[in-house]
Chains A and B, each alone.
Chain A
Amino acid sequence: MSAVVSDAETRPRAAEGRAPDVFRPGGWVPMRRYSENEPVDFAIVGTGCGGSVLAARLAEAGHSVVAFDAGAFYRPLEDFASDEREQEKLYWLDERISGGADPLEFGSNNSGKAVGGTTVHFQMVALRWRPEWFKARSLLGYGHDWPVDWREMWHYYDLAEDAMKIAGPVRYPWGPPRGRYPYREHELSASALVLARGCEALGTAWAPTPTASLSAPRGLAHPCVYRGFCKIGCATNAKQSMLVTFVPRALAAGAEIRDLAMVGRIETGRDGRVTGVRYHRSGAWRLQKARAVIVAGYSIETPRLLLHSACPAHPDGLANSSGLVGTNLMVHSNHAVWGVMEEEIRWYKGPPSLAVCERWNYDDDKDFDGGYAFMSQGPLPTDFATALVSNEGVFGHRLRRWMGHYNHMAGLKIVGETQARDENRVELSEETDALGLPVPKVTFGYCDNDRRLFTHAQRFMRAVLDAAGGRDLYETADTAHLMGGCRMGVDPASSVVNADGRSWDIDNLFVCDGSLFPTGGGVNPSLTIVANSLRIAERIKALARRGEIG
């Protein structure tokens, strides 16, 4: 597929002292190079919300950093087509075995593979957590507490929103007061106005969604042109993914990034401490020595790598004395209600989720633990059609007639919290992939509380869409996002890492990505991952200053 556009997926681009300039077609920026045989301060696995943030912050503090990503290093302006099939190149499509009572779908649903990570194709919704969720167990009676105080997170949310120039409303109706968003809110699209109208009819608050897409110019990046292809990569650089924010910052600060570089194993010494990473690039296995390793491959690849790096000193996998690596994997339930509107909506225009309702994150008068937000929708044609056929089984002339209503459709979809449970987990299967690495096996099932949550949500969204004038309503079920798998905590027996992301077992091994979440929360995860990574960066810098890493 993608070969007609460029060779980014077959030939490493970040090499020989230069890396792609994401802001200029054909452009390059200089890149520092580190020797494989001299240990660098930090080897980082992954360049998403965890990896790229740490690479930037640690390099800015003067550390030697090499960050690896299995994916390609794109220049959005020339490598991204306005085409759903072509852009599948952004997804992690390596096989994962999916089992359990409610097996998950991967690929486009939750996993990216590119420098910049999953944010290259995320939908830019940038919401803060409800403060109580950080102490969900103590304050709300479910889940697991974070080893972090919400006020500290609030500070890092400020920094994260500024780093991504979030465009948001002057007043946000839920949660504690916050400062102004760095950029003004976007104009609401017709699909967002459907949510607004429905909520107002029911007397429920709604808000323009804080969105990681520029509403005004920023450096060489133009403001959003409302082309609506965000979910498959923004070809204008308005989207504030990690690829155009922290990755360039990391390079400018002296980090080296190696694209098309799959880390297959974390190496350990006889003392059980980590010594570097073994990675596959340009057809060969190579070794990078490092004083410390930070794993930031997200909720499936991070546990996979830790488990596969088992060695005599750590026979059950690295950082796994608790036996918890890979467990407590969470998703967001992604149930939706769709309907046909009298007016033309043309929901393919603009960021897809420009209006949000967080009522059921903050209102505790409900029959389930946790919460959900719901947002307006704007799926591209094949995205919409696949949900229609897989949920409803429509085919024949009727399918084409349904699709003929594409420009009159509106939808509401939740980001619904699921409970952290030991049995929802990532393990290694007996099968191996093309590089000889064990294929991960993921087990997932909903619990009764999860089901009560999405049943509640579908009832409520139906009422909203009905009040907004929607006809012929129907529902679909899906999941999105991954969280957990290496939870952080205060106790080595009940968590994989501590509040600094540091393994309880190995003092020079860290985890920093979405897998740290002890509890999932009812909003999209990446702003929280970025904020948490900014926090962990300060912690690691402090440890390094005191000479406590090695």
Chain B
Amino acid sequence: MDEKPFETPYPGYDVLAKWDGPSWNDATRRVVADRLENVPPRRFLGEAEYRLLRSVIETILPQPERSEAARIPVEAFVDAMLWNNEGSGTRYADAPPPREAWRRGLAAIAAEAERRHGRSFETLTAEERHALLAAIDAGETDPAAWEGLHPRRFFRHVLLKEAVKIYYAHPLAWNEIGFGGPAAPRGYVRLGPDMRDPWEAEEVRPPQALEGAP
């Protein structure tokens, strides 16, 4: 497992600083304000399921540098998506509908933790949690726990996908990757390599080295 925490190449960059400027239109302001101010309460998942989900999210997208109040609350938006029963347009023929898939998938993660460690997922160390999810992705699972759900497909296409869709739609995430953020009506002028408009993020240090392809 890979411990090195993330460090942004763009410290000091804040897309919200452009809030009142020409890069943000009203529609965008309304949407982002809603996302920041109205973090949805837990309504769909049970308390225990929600605790587990949060622990899984912290393993998938650890945010050690942020306080509780400053954290991107990915789990809250997952719960809201399930509560609203939002569809994605696709239901794989051999997979249950989204609500059922999430319930079964979370239960299976809990069961895998009990099976391997005799403890609940939330009480495992960060390393153990990471290793457990990696094992699920690799298909080293107990078929009985998954009740017909495909472990890798659930992990990648349901869990990871939804988590990053929520995380990277948050202004804090836009900041950390140096994304220009909302850009209407004003877009950009300088398009070439190593060119930057004054209202774009400045790279203060190079992104952290990668050890080969993902």
Q: Which residues of A contact B28 (CB under 8 A)?
A: 81-83
Name the B residues within 8 Å of A224 (CB-CB): 187
B90 touches A235 (CB 8 A): no
A190 contacts B192, C-beta separation under 8 Å: yes
Partner-contacting stretch, out of A155-163, A385-393, A525-533: A385-393
Q: Are B188 and A397 in contact (CB under 8 A)?
A: no
Q: In the complex, what distance in Å separates the CA atom of A340 from the CA atom of B210?
A: 10
B203 is an interface residue with CB less than 8 A from chain A: yes
Tell me, yes or no, whether A344 is within 8 Å of chain B by CB. yes
Residue among A84, A105, A343 making CB contact with B194, cutoff 8 Å: A343
The residue that A407 contacts in the complex, of B164, B178, B185, with Cβ under 8 A, is B178
On chain B, the residues within 8 Å of A226 by CB distance are 187-189, 191
Contact bitstring A392-413, B, C-beta under 8 A = 1, else 0: 1111111111111111100000
A187–B164 CB distance below 8 A: no
Interface membership of chain A positions 246-273, coded 1 if the CB is closer than 8 angstroms to chain B and 0 otherwise: 0000000000000000000000000000
Q: How far is the CA of A406 from the CA of B186 in the complex (A)?
A: 21
A472 nearest CB neighbor, chain B only? B213
Q: Which of B97-147 contact A (CB under 8 A)?
A: 97, 130, 133, 137
- Asked, given contacts A83-B32, A107-B88, whether A404 binds B6 with beta carbons under 8 Å apart, the answer is yes
**What is the distance, in angstroms, from B90's C-beta to the closest C-beta of chain A?**
5
Contact of B182 among A81, A104, A190, A193 (CB under 8 A): A81
Given the known A-B contacts A386-B164, A396-B59, are A404 and B176 also in contact in the complex, defined by CB atoms under 8 Å?
A: yes
Which among B59, B90, B157, B164 is the interface contact of A385 at CB below 8 angstroms? B164
Binds B, one of A58-66, A89-97, A358-366: A89-97
Check if A541 is an interface residue, CB within 8 A of chain B.
Answer: no
B99 to nearest A CB, angstroms? Answer: 12
Q: DSSP class of A's interface residues: helix, strand, loop or mixed? A: loop
Q: How far apart sit A341 and B28, CA to CA, in the bound complex (Å)? A: 31
Given A78-B26, A401-B4, residue A111 in contact with residue B89 (CB < 8 A): yes
Verify A406–B177 contact, CB threshold 8 A. Answer: yes
Bound Cα distance from A401 to B178, whole angstroms:
12
Decide yes or no whether A99 CB sits under 8 A from chain B.
yes
Interfacial chain A residues near B30, Cβ < 8 Å: 4-5, 81
Would you call A104 and B94 a contact (CB within 8 A)?
no
Contacts of A1 in B (CB 8 A): 31
Please indicate the chain B residues that have their CB under 8 angstroms from the CB of A390 in the complex: 156-157, 160-161
Count A interface residues, CB 8 Å: 82
- A349 near B180 with CB under 8 A, answer yes
B83 CB to closest chain A CB, in angstroms?
Answer: 13
Is B73 in the interface zone, CB < 8 Å from A?
no
Q: Does A228 contact B (CB under 8 A)?
A: yes
Q: B25 near A82 (CB under 8 angstroms)?
A: yes
Question: Does B1 sit at the interface, judged by CB under 8 A?
Answer: yes
Check if A404 sits within 8 Å of B8, measured CB to CB: yes
Collect the chain B residues with CB atoms within 8 Å of residue A111's CB. Answer: 89
Cβ of A473 < 8 Å from any Cβ of B?
yes
CA A381 – CA B184 in complex, angstroms? 17
B70 contacts the other chain (Cβ, under 8 Å)? no
The reply to whether A348 and B179 form a contact with Cβ atoms under 8 Å apart is: yes
Nearest CB of A to B126, in Å: 9
- Asked whether B204 is an interface residue with its Cβ less than 8 Å from the other chain, the reply is no
Chain A residues whose CB sits within 8 angstroms of the CB of B94 once the complex forms: 99
Best-surrounded residue of A85, A106, A340 (most CB of chain B within 10 A)? A85
* A447 contacts partner chain B, Cβ-Cβ < 8 Å: no
List the B residue with the shortest CB-CB distance to A107.
B89
Q: Which of B97, B165, B196 meets A346, CB within 8 Å?
A: B196
Partner of A472, one of B156, B165, B212: B212
Contact flags (1/0) for A70-114 with B, using CB distance below 8 Å? 000000001111111110000111111111100111111001000
Considering only residues 1-20 of chain A, those with a C-beta below 8 Å from chain B are 1, 4-6
A410 to chain B, nearest CB (A): 10
Q: Residue A79 contacts which of B1, B27, B35 (CB distance < 8 angstroms)?
A: B27
The answer to the question of B198 belonging to the interface, with a C-beta cut-off of 8 Å to chain A, is no
Contact with A along B156-169 (1 / 0, CB 8 A): 11001101111111
Is the C-beta of A313 less than 8 angstroms from some C-beta in chain B?
Answer: no
Determine whether B68 belongs to the interface, using a CB cutoff of 8 Å to chain A.
no
A80 near B156 (CB under 8 angstroms)? no
Question: CA of A328 to CA of B2 in the docked complex: distance in angstroms?
Answer: 46
Contact of A393 (CB < 8 Å), options: B2, B137, B163: B137
Given contacts A235-B27, A236-B184, A404-B9, contact A389 B161 (CB under 8 A): yes
Produce 1/0 per residue, B183-211, CB < 8 A to A. Answer: 11111110111111000110100011010
Q: Is A432 an interface residue (CB 8 A)?
A: no
Q: Is A382 an interface residue (CB 8 A)?
A: yes
Contacting pair B193 A345 (CB below 8 A): yes
A525 to chain B, nearest CB (A): 19
Candidates A92, A227, A382, A441; contact of B164 at CB < 8 Å: A382
Q: Which of A97, A106, A397 contacts B4 (CB 8 A)?
A: A397
Contact of A236 among B185, B191, B195 (CB under 8 A): B185
Query: Closest approach, in angstroms, between the C-beta of B64 and any C-beta of chain A?
Result: 9
The CA of A193 and the CA of B192, in the complex, are separated in Å by: 8
When C-beta atoms are compared, the residue in chain B nearest to A384 turns out to be: B168
B26 touches A396 (CB 8 A): no
- B149 at the binding interface (Cβ < 8 Å): no
Beta-carbon contact of B187 and A395 below 8 Å: no
B60 within 8 A of A: yes
- The residue from B91, B182, B194 contacting A82, defined by CB atoms under 8 A apart: B182
Please indicate the chain A residues that have their CB under 8 angstroms from the CB of B42 in the complex: none
Partner of B160, one of A95, A97, A395: A395
Q: Find chain A residues with CB under 8 A from B32 CB.
A: 81, 83
Residue on B nearest A407 in the bound complex, by CB: B178
A189 within 8 A of B: yes
Is B210 a contact partner of A395 (Cβ separation < 8 A)? no
What residues of B have a CB within 8 angstroms of the CB of A399 in the complex?
Answer: 60-61, 164
Contacts of B187 in A (CB 8 A): 224-228, 236, 349
Q: Can you list 15 contacts pairing A with B, beta carbon distance less than 8 Å?
A: A80-B184, A85-B31, A85-B169, A93-B88, A96-B90, A97-B92, A108-B89, A228-B188, A346-B178, A380-B179, A381-B168, A385-B168, A396-B62, A407-B179, A472-B210
Beyond the given A99-B93, A381-B177, A407-B9, could you list 8 further A-B residue pairs with CB under 8 A, ordered by the A residue number? Answer: A81-B28, A86-B31, A111-B89, A396-B60, A401-B6, A401-B208, A405-B207, A407-B178
Q: Which residues of B contact A (CB under 8 A)?
A: 1-9, 23-28, 30-32, 34-35, 59-62, 86-94, 97, 130, 133, 137, 152, 155-157, 160-161, 163-169, 173-174, 176-189, 191-196, 200-201, 203, 207-208, 210, 212-214
Shortest beta-carbon contacts, A-B, top 5: A107-B89, A225-B187, A99-B93, A227-B187, A82-B182
